[in-house]
A and B are shown apart, each in its own frame.
Chain A
Amino acid sequence: MATAALAPAVFVPAARDRATAVVAALALAALVALPWALEGGASALWRAAAGAPIFWPLLAASAAVVFLAWRGADRWTAIVAGLAVACTFVAGFAAGPKGLSFGIGAGVALLALTICFARAIARRGAFKGDPTVASIVVVIAGLLAIFIFFPVGKVLTAALFDAKGAFAPGLAAQRLFTADIWGLACLTGGSRCGVAINSAVLATVVGVGSTLLGLILALVVQRGGQRYAGVTRLMSILPIVTPPFVIALALVVLFGRTGLVTGWLDTWFGIARSRWLYGLPGVSIAQLLTFSPIAFMILHGALGAISPALEEAAQTLRGSRWRVFRTITLPLLRPALANAFLLGFVESLADFANPIVLAGNYEVLSTKIFFAVAGAQHDPGRAAALAAVLLGLTLLAFWLQQRWIGRLSYVTVTGKGDGGMPAKLPRPLWFACFGTAAAWIVFTLACYLIILTGGFVNDIGRGDMAITLDHFAQGFGIDFSRGLTFVGSAWDSLFTTITVAAVAAPVTTVVGLLAAYVITRHRFAGRRMFEFLTMVSFAIPGTVIGVSYIVAFNVAPLELTGGMAILVLCFVFRNMPVGVRAGVAALAQIDQTLDEASSTLRASTTRTLRRVILPLLRPAILATLVFSFTHAMTAVSAVIFLATAKYNLATVYIIGRVEAGEYPLAIAYSSVLIVFMLSVLLLVQALVGETRLGRRATPVLATGN
């Protein structure tokens, strides 16, 4: 009866693998019927027949995979499909810039063959024998390799080559360590510092400032009671719907040489007009206003998570308000403070929009990279070197954050809910906080008021306040005389932006949530690595992505520049980490036993995903959709490299107007964007709100032992 040690248990597949055979047949169909190359034309089969024998092996391999999968020969299916994909890429890159660019036929065939490979190795026992999980992981990892690691790797190596494309390590060192980047002359009384030093100084100022502002507002809102709940809502919504340079525009209108406030100061107090705003002061203020809401949201959450019982305990131990604040509240906030500082630091480093409007002669890395590529000097090697420095600084900050937060984590929320009242702040501190917060809120509202109304007057930047609709007519004019024609100059970019965002958002959501699903719900070798890979693009500044995309994707076999596809791809892979995070958080709320119950009720992984997980994830799906949509509409740093005259984007158009000095049109366009995105956001919130009501509260599911 007793058996000797049996082999480890894995899912043993049925002999035939119809699903994989069907996918392989799809690859074959694409090779037969769809145009292989980007410029269209013949399919792989026709090209092979017309004298390009290089396609025969791929066609034969695809046919073989159909047959092998049908027979259930998993090992050979995996080997043939894997080799076919690898050889296609090798052949494509070997052909170099003169070869064919992969088009729709190549894309579908490669994707299908990759899925065949993943399913076959799953049937051999990888990924716990789950073909669905295997396909998701392998396909997403492959896409990340192509659209994140390949371009970023290429741009980093580009620094090693000179203008003619010859290998020049000496030049790379020269580029990386020039005084232009690292110079410290400003400290010793010289005229200016290196661009990396400038960026680091700015990022530090903004990191400290935004953390402080965020803390102050969080204290007021958390300890001031329900009265200030509206502030939280405002702070959570404004950054989402605000194009990044709006604050900078408003500052110019208020404090520029011809600004409103500058004008009043000049007339009433005789303070001479100056250009003090352009440089470190202006960029710092703009970035503080732009990024403080993020610090606020972090600290607001952290303050709320501190159990009131801790502060009450301190009070009953005879602690005064100051003592409680100093010895309990602040120390417990330390991880959140570190987090807020580093996020502010990183955001400031990566920020492109505020410096391009306000930096003047104060050069920072993100804009310097742009001008190295787009400006008169056109020096991709130099841009690559600067991008390497920016990436290095950013990754260093993220690395510090991980190390620091890891050690400082205090869990203050336990399973049991504590009642009790949060401690009151010491009175002087309360008044100081309240004053600062109020001033900041008023200032922020003033900025938005300027943007929302500035488009309706002649030239708010010069104080010409005659009411007019000219700017809207210029940008968004509609002519009915010859049917409906959009004659305004901004329409094209607005339509492109909405199209690109609307295509990118669902793709981002699907890819992000699928990645989140396999990360949270399945245990497989390399899971931690996969999670890290999906998150890594979050740490890469948009400017670096933008440069790397034009460096990597302007020649065959991956030729994408100039089209709309590259804009979509850029948004998908830049916003994916947020989709993954949202998905992971939402899935953590759904008890794992629901999956298991579904499984014991004979449901397959696919059915579990479709009938149980997806319906419960609906709020998270909508949130991710809205976020990636609005984020795509407001993005500027990466896409400023990728937008073209044909496919222009709203943000890039506005930057163009700002550079040309046409502030009123830029302001009018910004207000249109804000109103449009706010409407989308509120509409979706209304819809989600209703479905929540309809579903009532979900039961609390205890976790088993």
Chain B
Amino acid sequence: MNEKTGGVVFEQVTKRYGSVTAVDEVSFNVAQGELVTLLGPSGCGKTTTLRMVAGLEAVTSGRVTIGGVDVTLRAANERDVSMVFQSYALFPHMSVLDNVCYGPMSMRMDRAKAREIAHAKITMLGLAGLEQRLPSELSGGQQQRVAVARSLVLEPAVLLFDEPLSNLDAKLRRRVRQEIRELQQELKLTVLYVTHDQEEALAVSDHIIVMDSGRIAQQGTPHELYEAPASRFLADFIGDANLVDGELAVTAEGATFSAGGVAAPVRAGGLPSGPATLAVRPQRLRLVDAGGGDVPGTCRRAAYLGSRIEYVVDTPWGELLVFDTDARTSRRRDEPVGVAFDTDAAIMLAR
């Protein structure tokens, strides 16, 4: 369906509000047919970035290209993009059909033709039969689909999603995000997606761009970001992580990380000897009986979550969070234990 070439190219784009810099020299590409997510804590500039792609905010400096065309100076209604809003922004006084027809009618398509293509999208999203309903007569999930249909009907070069799932309940959120991903792959849509939920980002994206304080902190595939975070911020932001500050000693035989008087073998990952931070995912840690493992500790708290038990273990490395997925055996409070991990589980970060 989408023959438009090229996706979004963002070149050194900066957005300033007076003296505040919201987005600072950000550059990235969204390749055609790819779903790229902007991820970050609130206030990191991800929504501003999305709105600059849409043309709802003017860029202060830099260049935005969509489908091979420089659109930096074009208004929102002159860009080949459309957007699904967090609030859906369905026009409350128009029926589902009128909402979906709105874009084609804005482009002066004749009514019959507009209705025909609107019907196609409405049917594709499983909303057939609801055409004459008002948005207020639909459930949250249905409203969300109308918003998607309304954006899809223009067959834009790029589809933008601004936290589209945040108004849905947890169960529905999981289902809808699968639907969005399937739709994107089926129609080979080029999508830029904004979310602050790292699990959602991991689940739907081809690429993730993590933003922090108006800059790109790291970009890569979900797997790269999770397994090889580039900084302390990233390790902490995506998934849970134990972060331990200590000293890295690299010798010819291998590397050792020591903190609080306890040392453990690690992979240096190219880092030289010196101060470093060790990052390790809680599910990559195992509890073993006292005397074993890499770090000795005492079990302080345990939370039973059904699929796993979450332990907080007091160790010379500080408090460590350990997920035990083998939830059949549980440790007692104040029981001495050992914490073990494989050398490839721990990532060394410069400090």
Contacts of B150 in A (CB 8 A): 597, 601
Contacts of A705 in B (CB 8 A): 42-43, 47, 86, 163
Binary contact readout B290-323 vs A (1 if CB under 8 angstroms, 0 otherwise): 0000000000000000000000000000000000
Q: Top 9 closest A-B pairs, CB basis? A: A597-B89, A601-B103, A593-B89, A704-B86, A698-B92, A599-B76, A9-B58, A602-B106, A603-B106
Known pairs A599-B56, A602-B78, A705-B86 / 9 extra A-B pairs, C-beta < 8 Å: A12-B74, A594-B89, A594-B91, A598-B106, A604-B106, A612-B91, A702-B167, A703-B87, A704-B47
Q: B137 near A: Cβ within 8 Å? A: yes
The chain B residue with its CB closest to the CB of A595 is B89
Contact, CB under 8 Å: A600 / B73: no
Q: B134 near A: Cβ within 8 Å? A: yes
Binary contact readout A615-632 vs B (1 if CB under 8 angstroms, 0 otherwise): 110000000000000000
Contact, CB under 8 Å: A1 / B11: yes
Known: A600-B82, A705-B47. A3 touches B62 (CB 8 A): yes
Contacting A at CB under 8 A, from B80-106, are 81-83, 85-93, 102-103, 106
Contact, CB under 8 Å: A599 / B77: yes
Contact, CB under 8 Å: A591 / B87: yes
What is the bound-complex CA distance between A616 and B88, given in angstroms?
Answer: 17
Q: B135 near A: Cβ within 8 Å? A: yes
Contacts of B245 in A (CB 8 A): none
Interface residues of B (CB under 8 A from A): 11-12, 27, 42-43, 47, 54-56, 58-63, 72-79, 81-83, 85-93, 102-103, 106-107, 134-137, 143, 150-151, 154, 160, 162-163, 166-167
Known: A695-B134, A697-B136. A591 touches B89 (CB 8 A): yes
What is the bound-complex CA distance between A260 and B151, given in angstroms?
Answer: 73
What is the bound-complex CA distance between A602 and B75, given in angstroms?
Answer: 9
Smallest CB–CB gap between B182 and chain A, Å? 24
Smallest CB–CB gap between B282 and chain A, Å? 29
Q: A466 near B: Cβ within 8 Å? A: no
Contacts of A9 in B (CB 8 A): 58-60, 72-73
What is the bound-complex CA distance between A705 and B143, given in angstroms?
Answer: 19
Q: A2 near B: Cβ within 8 Å? A: yes
Pick the contact of B77 from A8, A604, A615 — CB < 8 Å? Answer: A604
8 CB contacts below 8 A, A to B, read A6-B62, A9-B60, A11-B75, A596-B54, A598-B106, A601-B77, A603-B77, A696-B137
Smallest CB–CB gap between A8 and chain B, Å? 6
Contacts of A611 in B (CB 8 A): 91, 102
Contacts of A86 in B (CB 8 A): none
Interface residues of A (CB under 8 A from B): 1-3, 5-12, 128-129, 591, 593-594, 596-604, 607, 611-612, 615-616, 695-699, 701-705
**Most A Cβ at <10 Å: residue of B75, B86, B136:** B75
Contacts of B54 in A (CB 8 A): 596, 600
What is the bound-complex CA distance between A699 and B143, given in angstroms?
Answer: 10
What is the bound-complex CA distance between A697 and B90, given in angstroms?
Answer: 14
Smallest CB–CB gap between B262 and chain A, Å? 42
The chain B residue with its CB closest to the CB of A597 is B89
Contact, CB under 8 Å: A601 / B154: yes
Known: A11-B73, A601-B154. A2 touches B27 (CB 8 A): yes
What is the bound-complex CA distance between A615 and B166, given in angstroms?
Answer: 28
Smallest CB–CB gap between B169 and chain A, Å? 14
Smallest CB–CB gap between A158 and chain B, Å? 44
Contact, CB under 8 Å: A696 / B58: no
Which applies to chain A's interface (DSSP): helix, strand, loop or mixed? loop
Contact, CB under 8 Å: B58 / A8: yes
Contact, CB under 8 Å: B62 / A601: no
Smallest CB–CB gap between A132 and chain B, Å? 12
The chain B residue with its CB closest to the CB of A1 is B11
Smallest CB–CB gap between A699 and chain B, Å? 5
Contact, CB under 8 Å: A603 / B12: no
Smallest CB–CB gap between A296 and chain B, Å? 33
Contact, CB under 8 Å: A600 / B77: yes
Contacts of B88 in A (CB 8 A): 701
What is the bound-complex CA distance between A8 and B102, given in angstroms?
Answer: 31
The chain A residue with its CB closest to the CB of B163 is A704
Contacts of B79 in A (CB 8 A): 600
What is the bound-complex CA distance between A129 and B59, given in angstroms?
Answer: 14
Contacts of B62 in A (CB 8 A): 3, 6
Contact, CB under 8 Å: A6 / B55: no
Smallest CB–CB gap between B278 and chain A, Å? 33
Contact, CB under 8 Å: A597 / B72: no
Smallest CB–CB gap between B334 and chain A, Å? 39
Smallest CB–CB gap between B135 and chain A, Å? 5
What is the bound-complex CA distance between A703 and B162, given in angstroms?
Answer: 12
Known: A6-B62, A611-B102, A704-B86. A600 touches B135 (CB 8 A): no
Pick the contact of B90 from A6, A600, A699 — CB < 8 Å? Answer: A699
Contact, CB under 8 Å: A10 / B136: no
Smallest CB–CB gap between A618 and chain B, Å? 9
The chain B residue with its CB closest to the CB of A6 is B61
Pick the contact of A696 from B55, B78, B134 — CB < 8 Å? Answer: B134
What is the bound-complex CA distance between A701 and B167, given in angstroms?
Answer: 10
Smallest CB–CB gap between B23 and chain A, Å? 13
The chain B residue with its CB closest to the CB of A599 is B76
**Most B Cβ at <10 Å: residue of A6, A601, A698:** A601
Contact, CB under 8 Å: B106 / A601: yes
The chain B residue with its CB closest to the CB of A600 is B83
What is the bound-complex CA distance between A600 and B137, given in angstroms?
Answer: 24
Contact, CB under 8 Å: A597 / B77: no
Known: A591-B89, A696-B136. A603 touches B81 (CB 8 A): no
What is the bound-complex CA distance between A702 and B88, given in angstroms?
Answer: 9
What is the bound-complex CA distance between A615 and B134, given in angstroms?
Answer: 14
Contact, CB under 8 Å: A6 / B63: yes
Contacts of B134 in A (CB 8 A): 695-696
Smallest CB–CB gap between B347 and chain A, Å? 30
What is the bound-complex CA distance between A541 and B8, given in angstroms?
Answer: 58
Contacts of A704 in B (CB 8 A): 47, 85-87, 162-163
Contact, CB under 8 Å: B90 / A702: no
Contacts of A598 in B (CB 8 A): 91, 102, 106
Known: A3-B11, A8-B60. A699 touches B136 (CB 8 A): yes
Smallest CB–CB gap between B208 and chain A, Å? 19
Smallest CB–CB gap between B48 and chain A, Å? 10
The chain A residue with its CB closest to the CB of B108 is A602
Contacts of B137 in A (CB 8 A): 696
Smallest CB–CB gap between B232 and chain A, Å? 24
Known: A597-B85, A696-B137, A705-B42. A607 touches B90 (CB 8 A): no
The chain B residue with its CB closest to the CB of A616 is B93
What is the bound-complex CA distance between A8 and B57, given in angstroms?
Answer: 12
The chain B residue with its CB closest to the CB of A705 is B42
Contact, CB under 8 Å: A698 / B136: yes
What is the bound-complex CA distance between A701 and B87, given in angstroms?
Answer: 6
The chain B residue with its CB closest to the CB of A703 is B87
Contacts of B61 in A (CB 8 A): 5-8
What is the bound-complex CA distance between A1 and B65, given in angstroms?
Answer: 12
Known: A8-B58, A699-B92. A599 touches B103 (CB 8 A): no
Pick the contact of A10 from B58, B160, B163 — CB < 8 Å? Answer: B58
Smallest CB–CB gap between B216 and chain A, Å? 15
What is the bound-complex CA distance between A599 and B74, given in angstroms?
Answer: 12
Contact, CB under 8 Å: A3 / B87: no
Contacts of A612 in B (CB 8 A): 91
The chain A residue with its CB closest to the CB of B103 is A601
The chain A residue with its CB closest to the CB of B64 is A9
Contacts of A128 in B (CB 8 A): 58
Contact, CB under 8 Å: B89 / A10: no
Contact, CB under 8 Å: A10 / B73: yes
The chain B residue with its CB closest to the CB of A695 is B93
The chain A residue with its CB closest to the CB of B134 is A696
Contacts of B143 in A (CB 8 A): 699
Pick the contact of B86 from A3, A6, A702 — CB < 8 Å? Answer: A702
Contact, CB under 8 Å: B58 / A615: no
What is the bound-complex CA distance between A129 and B63, given in angstroms?
Answer: 19
What is the bound-complex CA distance between A615 and B94, given in angstroms?
Answer: 10
Contacts of A607 in B (CB 8 A): 106
